Amino acid sequence: MTTQFEPLDSGAVPRYAGIPTFMRLPQAEPAEVDIALLGIPYDGGATNRVGTRHGPREIRNQSSLMRRVHHVSGLSPYDRARIADCGDVPVDPMDLMRTLDLISAHYAGVKAAGALPLTAGGDHLVTLPILRGLAADGPVGLIQFDAHSDTYDSFFGGSRYNHGTPFRRAIEEGLIDPKRFVQIGLRGAISDASNYDFAKACGIRMIFIEEFTERGVAEIMAEARALVGDLPTYVTFDIDGIDPSQAPGTGTPEIGGFSTREAQLLVRKLEGLNLIGADVVEVAPPLDPSGLTALTGATIMFELLCVLAGVVASKGGK
């Protein structure tokens, strides 16, 4: 498949030159492409340290270092699908509930346009309205790479919509099938022993880092793949799933996480699933003096892009 949606050629234009779009791709509308790269510059869902509103811009900046062809598969996503930077989703930094509506409407539009969305957050709350936009007609499966379960009920005596609660809300709203929901990389102390009760009661498969360390990537992902099966599934990658030495710039770091080498292997094992979209969230540039977190985020995004391009290729494109 030939396509006009190619990254700038780094053999002609240096990587640091030009206005930074995701992967140095052209800008386009979702209707023009198979995969829409999107940013959600919003961190109003953060209960602690903020800064992920700057995530999309800095991930774009670091994504200039990405190249075309995956070194393991030998395939270029740009040969398999039409892909572009579809810009940032509208948000209202002063109004959380309005922002949720703006985001869900936008993703409903992306879905209607026939594009698979690959998103750079933003805090993890943004996955809730993404799912509202994508899963309006029935619950989907979810594979979540994360240090935290994000299935709290509320904070501060009333906040039900924040980055600690999106997946409880999504289950309550029928957006996720909890039997097809797996969380990988959980760790870190919790505020109360009951914090995991909801997740356990729902049947979410929670895989803690200790279990991951013992069983390894292959076994864990085989289980995850079996669990979500062939039905539509969304993937969400919280950058704090990765160890803070490789992703320090995030609001709620937990030591003892995935190495990036593990993270890359994990994502590659998503190949062939029936994915409807993916995101990378919680990259907070003001907490990232060396830029490494955004680089890690951009590379995970490229790995996810390769997987999504496989989905497009398997369906014959638009």
Of 317, 277, 282, which Cα lies nearest the Cα of 140?
277
263 phi, psi to nearest 5 deg: -60, -40
Contact with a second copy (CB under 8 A): which of 24, 34, 35, 53?
Answer: 53
What character string, x for contact with a second copy (CB under 8 A) and - otherwise, covers 255-284?
xxx-xxx-xxx-------------------
238 is in an annotated binding site: yes
Contact with a second copy (CB under 8 A): which of 145, 181, 198, 302?
Answer: 302
Is the distance from CB of 31 to CB of 114 less than 8 angstroms? yes
Q: Kindly identify the residues of this chain, within the stretch 172-231, that bind a second copy according to CB under 8 A.
A: 186-193, 195, 208-210, 213
d(CA 63, CA 94): 29
Can you name the residues that pair with 186 across neighbouring β-strands? 208
150 is in an annotated binding site: yes
At a CB cut-off of 8 Å and minimum separation 6, what does 285 contact?
51, 54, 55, 57, 58, 249, 291, 293, 294
What character string, x for contact with a second copy (CB under 8 A) and - otherwise, covers 67-86?
xxxxxx-x-x--------x-
Nearer to a second copy, 220 or 228 (CB): 220
Instruction: Say whether the peptide bond before residue 310 is cis (omega within 30 degrees of 0).
Output: no
Residue 20 is a binding residue for a second copy (CB under 8 A): yes
Contact with a second copy (CB under 8 A): which of 41, 117, 121, 310?
Answer: 41
Nearer to a second copy, 102 or 202 (CB): 102
d(CA 295, CA 33): 25
Is the distance from CB of 139 to CB of 179 less than 8 angstroms? no
Stretch that binds a second copy, among 221-229, 269-277, 288-296, 308-316 (CB under 8 A): 288-296
Q: Kindly identify the residues of this chain, within the stretch 93-122, that bind a second copy according to CB under 8 A.
A: 93-96, 98
Is the distance from CB of 155 to CB of 162 less than 8 angstroms? yes
Nearer to a second copy, 31 or 68 (CB): 68
Dihedral (Cα; 114, 115, 121, 126), 10-degree rounding: 20
Residue 66 is a binding residue for a second copy (CB under 8 A): yes
24 phi, psi to nearest 5 deg: 60, 35
Stretch that binds a second copy, among 12-20, 170-178, 225-233, 271-279 (CB under 8 A): 12-20
Q: Kindly identify the residues of this chain, within the stretch 118-177, that bind a second copy according to CB under 8 A.
A: 154-159, 161-162
Query: Which residue positions form the known binding site for Mn(2+)?
Result: 124, 146, 148, 150, 238, 240
Query: Which residue positions form the known binding site?
Result: 124, 146, 148, 150, 238, 240
